[in-house]
Structure 1
Amino acid sequence: MKKNIKSIGLGILGGIVPLGVFLMVETSEYSNQSINSKQYIDQPSASVSQVNFAPSEINEKLDFTKASQESVHSVVHVKTKVVQSYVQTDPFLEFFYGPGAGRERKQYGSGSGSGVIVSEDGYIVTNNHVIQNASEIQVTLNDNTTFDATVVGADPSTDIAVLKIEKTGLPAISIANSDDVKVGQWVLAVGNPFNLNSTVTAGIVSAKARNINIIGSKNKEIMPIESFIQTDAAVNPGNSGGALINTQGQLIGINTAIASQTGSYAGYSFAVPSRLVAKIMSDLIDYGMVQRGFLGVQIQEITQELINEKELENSSGIYVAGVNEDSGAEKAKIKVGDVILKVGSKSINSVAELQEEIGRRRPGDEVALTIRRDGEIINKKVELKNIEGNTELTSKEELEKYSALGATFEELTREEKKELNIENGVKISSISTGKLRSLGLSKGIVITKVNNEEVTSVEQLTSYLKRKDQNGVLLEIVTKSGRKDYIGFGL
């Protein structure tokens, strides 16, 4: 039986809508957003990182004028300029210098989307794909004034980014709790796609906690969190990063994608829920990066096939298919075969619901799980850990040296240690452009010593690599074939 299993915390793949999925952003010259058939749509104020959700109530009166008037001034136009370099091959240079030799050329492009003002002092939320790889960003307000913007931070795993402009007294939008959103309620999509004025369309909420497998389809190295609010409000190119609001004019989501066969609106649009947006926004402003907590389990949705195979009672909950070593889940004695029914008071019936609930929390947070095990309902408390295996919150600055290495690490299982005939070490779980790749290291290689000190955990290794009292590092490594080697480099 083919199983759909992924680690919870940074994203789990789920069902795919039968139409092409598009992340809508307007581009010119060229587009670097295409993903096969998928493309992006694109008094002093209180600290924006402390979000107090506005009270909201469902108002079914079909008069959207008040909500529209209150929200359009909070939605902005975001314009980007992108410069891409490429090498134009030259047969003459290749003859002397080998394949790939040529002259460097630059290609210029532009893109646009929308954004939402979330604080009076200039913080703006948009989609990561709207500003990704941008060399210049400009924000135009609804009164047509334009400002240069800087990127405070971005999170590819949720497709959320935060910008900052130097302006005070801005009309910040009121943020509602997306947990209160009901299927069938009226909503408005507000965007500023053409750098004219904000536009408003209406629709209803069609579904919640939708996982459409679009965020991670381009970048396979991220683990996406997708738990979209699905609506039938018309959303077209340039609306990425715009506001999904309730009939009181309060933000309940950031418009991100549409499902379409043509790239134009065809009845399905998707928004990142405001409660998840608020957490990501707070982290980016306070720390410069997202503080993401992990349960430390591998899970899968419960199908009829799984019910028959595992003799489960019913289809409610999420099945625990694996528990990571030294994780919070292992410490809490979560077991393979457990079925997670609730996180706190929230019932869980899909991977998307679980990833959203965990995605709102930080390392060190404790979550209460309601679990069914062998027909018995039990309660467990799990302390979430970060990707390094501890509960620390880390600033962007503290990770600069570590990030320059271009790799992430994970603990070895007992079986892996036995197979390699080693007693300690951590392995490279992913590797991208950076110091370690330039030295010839690859995924799966195990680091056993740093400067002759034995490596026993991911936490110890990353703490050592972030130390500022050293200029060079000597790594003892073990290859996937079991061969021992040494690699030295400067920091």
Structure 2
Amino acid sequence: MSIDPSSPALLEQLSTAMAGAVAQASRSVVAVQSVPPGRVRASGFAWRDGLIVTCEEAIPDEVELVVGLPDGSHAAATLVGRDPATDIALLRIAGASPTPVAFDAPPVQSGVIALGVGAADGAPVAAAGIVALAGPAWRSLRGGDIDARIELDLRLRRSAEGGLALDARGRAIGMTVFGPRRRVLVIPGPTIERVAGLLAAHGRVPRGYLGLALQAVKVEPTGFGAMVMGVAADGPGAAAGLHQGDLLLAWNGEPVHSVRRLLRALGPASVGSVARLSLKRGGEPLEAQLIVGERPAD
């Protein structure tokens, strides 16, 4: 958007610029619905030719989907893959595809104007507000790595979830989703590019797998560890020689303070890595090496 602050028609200029940004973005935004209608009403956008990104949480399992395109036509959609950890789902449509989005906006700052653009009933749906919070990378409650923490102070319709978030110049910064208490969050462009690329290539996002059931325990006098409560047959833990009852004290030289933190660190980059484990078995110290596997699809 380009605004002349010396003009007496400043508000009119701002209004026109915002409407133009919404119109430009709506060329890439689609409506995502279930067949028959009613079960799913969300938005999405063209990521690559024939590929649509939308909000994973809005798409139930085993549902037939149709995408409403910007020209008013509809296209059947099939699910390529989904990643609940980052709330990203990837759909494929046949035939003509909307203009793919380019995530070329610089990092946003708190207090700047932000727009949300979705689609419903063949028309764009828009919301305006500000960036309430712009923070560093974070990890979702489901263990997904999100490249930036962006929260928007705006009122978003349910049907617009999965649409685009724009900065003050109309550039796409990410996908709008609902967080706790319907807070509007943004899954930023770099996260979408990374996760959608994995979904397009593999149908899912690979994550690390130990094949171990672990339970946090206190270790005297003041330490913590993880007790091996179960070992999956043919899993990485079994291949490393771990037994039920082993006490895991350190992972690559770092003390194990939290089982949850350890498991959440098993992201895509961990698959195939080798971890040095410091254990106790029957009170005796033991060292082992474990090759992190890939979590089974189920």
Please indicate the TM-score interval, normalised by the length of the shorter structure. Answer: 0.5 to 0.7
User: Which one-letter code corresponds to 1:457 in the other structure?
Assistant: L
Residue 164 and residue 67 in structure 1: after superposition, are their counterparts in 2 closer, same or farther (change >3 A)?
same
Matched residue, 1:223: 143
Shift of 1:167: 2.3
Q: Which residue of 2 aligns with 1:281?
A: 196
Alignment partner of 2:190: what SS?
helix
The count of corresponding residues between Structure 1 and Structure 2 is 241
Shift of 1:66: 2.6
Q: Secondary structure at the match of 2:25?
A: helix
Opposite residue 161 of structure 2, the aligned amino acid is: S
Match 2:41 to one of 112, 125, 143: 112
2:173 is the alignment partner of 1:252: yes
What does 1:249-398 correspond to in 2, within 5 Å? 249-257=170-178, 260=181, 268-291=183-206, 325-326=251-252, 330=253, 363=269, 385-386=270-271, 389-390=273-274
Q: Is the 8 A contact 2:276 2:287 kept in 1?
A: no
Q: Which residue of 1 aligns with 2:109?
A: 182
Amino acid at match of 1:276: T
What is the rounded CA distance, in whole Å, between the counterparts of 1:255 and 1:207 in structure 2?
A: 14
Please report how far the alpha carbon of residue 231 of structure 1 lies from its aligned counterpart in structure 2 after TM superposition. Answer: 1.2
CA distance in 2, matches of 1:81, 1:210: 39
SS of the aligned residue for 2:159 comes to coil
How far apart are residue 116 of structure 1 and its match? 0.9
* 1:414 partnered with 2:279: yes
Q: Which residue of 2 aligns with 1:38?
A: none
Query: What's the counterpart of residue 290 of structure 2?
Result: 457
**Residue number in structure 1 paired with 2:80:** 152
The unaligned stretches of length 5 or more in structure 2 are 5-13, 210-248
- 3-state DSSP of counterpart to 1:73: coil
Q: Which residue is 1:73 aligned to?
A: 27
- Give deviations 1:143-202, integer Å, cap 9, x for gaps: 22111111111111111111110124522222124x52122221210011x323111121
Q: Provide the alpha-carbon RMSD of the alignment.
A: 4.1
Normalising by structure 2, report the TM-score: 0.66
- Which amino acid in 1 is paired with 2:88? I
Show the counterpart of 1:36: none
1:243-283 deviations in Å (ceiling 9; x for gaps): 101233321011101564xx6xxxx4211111111111111
Structure showing the higher strand proportion among its residues: 2
Partners of 1:462 and 1:277 lie apart in 2 by 21
Distance 1:118 1:110 in 2: 24
User: Structure 1 residues 153 and 209, CA, compared in 2 at 3 Å: closer, same or farther?
Assistant: farther
- The verdict on how the C-alpha distance between 1:422 and 1:151 changes in structure 2, with shifts beyond 3 A counting, is farther
Amino acid at match of 2:200: I
Measure, in 1, the Cα distance between the counterparts of 2:184 and 2:172: 16
Structure 1 outlier segments of 4+, above 6 Å: 210-213, 334-337, 421-425
Percent of residue pairs bearing the same amino acid type: 23
AA aligned to 1:74 is S
What CA distance in whole angstroms lies between the structure 2 residues aligned with 1:155 and 1:189?
22
CA distance in 1, matches of 2:35, 2:277: 44
Counterparts of 2:57 and 2:110, CA distance in 1: 27
- Equivalent position of 2:219 in the other structure: none
Give the whole-Å Cα distance in 2 for the aligned partners of 1:389 and 1:271.
31
Q: Which residue, out of 110, 118, 123, partners 1:197?
A: 123
**Distance (whole Å) between structure 2 residues aligned to residue 75 and residue 211 of structure 1:** 26
Q: Distance in 2 between matches of 1:114 and 1:185?
A: 24
Cα distance change, pair 280–462 in 1 and its aligned pair in 2 (3 A) = closer
- Tell me how far apart the structure 2 counterparts of residues 280 and 257 of structure 1 sit (CA, whole Å): 18
Flag the 1:389–1:109 CA change in 2: closer, same or farther, 3 A: farther
Alpha carbons of 1:324 and 1:147: their partners in 2 closer, same or farther (altered >3 Å)?
farther
Give the drift of 1:80.
2.4
Change in 2 beyond 3 A, CA 1:74/1:225: same
Distance across 1 between alignment mates of 2:201 and 2:250? 29
Q: In 2, distance between residues paired with 1:207 and 1:59? A: 24
